Amino acid sequence: MDINTAREQSKIDNKEYTGAILWEEVISPLIKDYSKNELSKFPFVKIKNSKKTRKKFIKLYCHYENLLLEEYMINSKRIDRHKIVAVCIKVLKRIKIFYVSFLDKIIFVCKNQKIPDNLLLINENFSLEVAYKILDSYIRTNSKQKGLFYHPVEKPEPFYKKDSMGNFSSNGNSDKYLKNYAAELHFSTNSKVNLLTHANVFFLLEKYSCRKAQCDNLEEECRRLLLHYGECTSDNVNAKIDEIRFRIKNDTNTDISN
């Protein structure tokens, strides 16, 4: 059952219930997934997945949701999905689901000289994965209920250099974006993990994902029409799409800001 449906069926606006659903439906399954995959190379990493950790997560979740409602959303009874994501990031930052003892760190460094990023940033990477899954759940449910086109939450790809058509090329890899975001979380103290800032980041990610999906669909339809009416062949249709994109971008009479 997804988060939205679970909360609606409860017929109550209960922060503790929401925290429990987030733990059971997203966090706990992802912990198990991490233990099988991400931690396969690091068997010495210990995991907090007990009833005590669950209780602490729910308690902190309620605390930070109340904080948002009391300080920033006085006339609201419930926080939106982007703020739920931000609260989870903040709480998981405090709990630290995965941990390595000081002795194990020393032994690992002695054998390998350096702690790899996927181990150093494991808690931060985990919290971002949780955040993406929660937001994606809300978008999927909202799309289904309203009959809208579903678009997954994208992980932005870094841009590097302009090609001959004036477009920025990408290596098609979103790892750098996530790594930088995780590093920012890692080196931030708990007091500096601002809830509204992270809520805004995921609000913008959702908007970016929606616009990207619309552009991708429009581009695909354009490609289909060019082929259908014989304007292009399968060999040169991509070049034609690049040309159209370049002309739109550089046409001073075309407003694409909206």
Reported as a single tens digit per residue, the pLDDT across 115-129 is: 788 888 899 999 999
Please name the residue that has the structure tokens 């695909």. Answer: 220
Closest CA relative to residue 130, chosen from 179, 78, 91: 91
For residue 251, pLDDT beyond 80: no
For residue 258, pLDDT over 70 is answered with: no
For residue 119, which of 103, 98, 146 has the smallest C-alpha distance?
Answer: 98
Residue 167's nearest CA partner among 247, 257, 237 is 247
Sign of the dihedral through C-alpha 156, 161, 162, 164 = negative
Chain centre distance of CA 164: 32
Q: Where are the beta strands (DSSP E) in the chain?
A: 46-47, 98-99, 159-162, 168-170
Whether 76 shows a pLDDT value over 90: the answer reads no
**CA nearest neighbour of 5 among 130, 137, 136, 133:** 137
Tens of pLDDT, residue by residue over 132-170, are 999 888 888 777 776 666 667 777 765 544 455 555 444
